[in-house]
Amino acid sequence: MKPASDEILRYATAGIINTLVGYGVFLLALRWVGLSPELSNAIGYGIGLCVAFTLNCLFVFKNAQLSLGAGIRFAIGFVFAFALNQAMLFYMMSGFKVIPEIAQIFAMATYTLIFYLINKYLVWN
């Protein structure tokens, strides 16, 4: 594999780990602790973002420097990528009349690509 494809594979692996951790925390908070779905989701997402930040710094972009600035850029990049995710979801459902379950696949792909590019060129450069 070329170095760029190795990085993309590491990004996908980090995404899978991050998703499993976030969802695991969600389930733990919901089923074992008895928190509301909304609060469980917020806690899971918050912890998942911390895991994603750490994995991106230490595993995906190996020469990255952990710093407050990187953390702020990461958070801003996440908000931007998530906003595009929401916009794509809305656009696919309203513009093309795609059902939400399929529209979300396009939205997630948009989020993943944009957040990767933000991380590669703006957060960890």
Mean pLDDT by 10 residues, the chain (125 residues): 86 96 95 94 93 95 90 96 93 94 92 96 93
- Identify whether residues 30 and 81 lie together within a single domain: no
Confidence (pLDDT) at 125: 83
Residue 70 burial (10 A CB sphere; 0-12, 13-18, 19+): buried
Counted domains in the chain: 2
Picking from 46, 64, 82, the residue at the C-terminal end of a domain is 64
- Identify whether residues 11 and 25 lie together within a single domain: yes
Picking from 12, 37, 64, the residue at the C-terminal end of a domain is 64
Picking from 12, 38, 64, the residue at the C-terminal end of a domain is 64
- Identify whether residues 57 and 79 lie together within a single domain: no
Confidence (pLDDT) at 63: 77
Cβ-contact 106, 98 below 8 angstroms: yes
- Identify whether residues 80 and 38 lie together within a single domain: no
- Identify whether residues 51 and 17 lie together within a single domain: yes
- Identify whether residues 49 and 86 lie together within a single domain: no
Confidence (pLDDT) at 62: 87
End-to-end Cα separation, the chain, in angstroms: 22
Report DSSP letters for 13-64, one per residue. Answer: HHHHHHHHHHHHHHHIIIIII---HHHHHHHHHHHHHHHHHHHIIIIISTT-
- Identify whether residues 56 and 80 lie together within a single domain: no
Q: At what angle do helices 3-27 and 100-118 cross, to 10 degrees?
A: 120
Confidence (pLDDT) at 1: 60
Q: pTM of the prediction?
A: 0.85
Tokens of 22: 């976030």
What Rg value do the Cα atoms of the chain yield, rounded?
A: 16
In total, the chain counts a number of residues equal to 125
Tokens of 2: 């070329």
- Identify whether residues 73 and 20 lie together within a single domain: no
Domain that holds residue 35: 1-64
Confidence (pLDDT) at 102: 95
